[in-house]
Amino acid sequence: MLINPKVKNLIPINNLEDVYVVADFDWTITDSNSELSWEMLGASKYVPSSYKKEKQELFDYYYPRVFSDSSDSKTKVALAREWYEKHIGLYIKYKLSEDIFTEAAKNKEFMRPRTYVIEFMKFLHENNIPLIIFSGGVGNFIEKFLENYNCYYDNITIISNMFEFKDGIAIGLKNDVIHTYNKNESSIPKNITDRLNNRNTVILIGDHIGDVAMVDSSKHKSVIKIGISTPEISKEVLSNHYDIVLDENESYKDILNYLFK
């Protein structure tokens, strides 16, 4: 575990009524061998090969452009939205059903929790600490993941892309598109922000450099940013953006023990 000395004076956190947690989902709550939530249906046997082919073509075109270092932020935001809207369009084009979502989610091998993350979420629930899950993924699968592991507690709010169904068939999203570049606190509903206003310490947990933008540090008294390294981004790279960085072999137990010991 790499720790920036500047946050040591904030730890341990003794006043649990003063804190809330903001976390990414894919590869932050799930492990890095899990399918991303947008890949769940493509990894399953429940969708036609033509959907998988078109999905891959979108990925091949948009991924290098959306994450290109040579593109300006305005261009990348526009491309991210365009990519998401076209992928959502495939769900509608192929009339993907709610039953398919349910069946794909039953395979726990597709989405596996990081070590001790279930216990971490239980600790937050037992201590009335709000957990906001931000994800540019598919919120329906996040819900089903939490239900599968009996940890969809009432202190959890999911802000993600929630598909809406009519007569059991996907017809689009219930909300505006949430993608890499707009998943942040501005998306939190007012009834939730009202519950967070008196909490001055935010724990942010992510696995990607872009995840640090989920919280605007200038608007909070204290923000402790925790990065979890993956095969895609090294511990050393993350340490330039996060206050605390965990190795792949470290777990949420280490987070619990360090922050709340």
In tens, the pLDDT along 138-169 reads: 999 999 999 999 999 999 999 999 999 999 99
pLDDT value for 234:
84
Domain-located, residue 240: yes
pLDDT value for 8:
86
pLDDT value for 189:
87
Identify the domain containing residue 122 by its residue range. 2-33+110-260
pLDDT value for 69:
83
Domain-located, residue 47: no
pLDDT value for 232:
85
Domain-located, residue 220: yes
Domain-located, residue 91: no
Kind plus residue range of the DSSP H or E element containing 55: helix 49-66
pLDDT value for 68:
86
In tens, the pLDDT along 108-149 reads: 999 999 999 999 999 999 999 999 999 999 999 999 999 999
Residue closest to 95 by CA, chosen among 50, 145, 161, 36 = 50
CB 175 within 8 A of CB 198: no
In tens, the pLDDT along 39-48 reads: 999 999 999 9
pLDDT value for 65:
93
Domain-located, residue 208: yes
CB 79 within 8 A of CB 63: no
> Tokens 């330039």 identify what position?
240
pLDDT value for 239:
93
For residue 158, what is the domain's CATH number?
Answer: 3.40.50.1000
Token readout for 215 is 């919280």
> Tokens 């509608």 identify what position?
92
Domain-located, residue 88: no
Domain-located, residue 225: yes
Number of structural domains in the chain: 1
Torsions phi, psi for 250 (to 5 deg): -90, 160
Q: Which residues of the chain have pLDDT under 70?
A: none
pLDDT value for 71:
82
Domain-located, residue 102: no
The whole-model pTM stands at 0.94
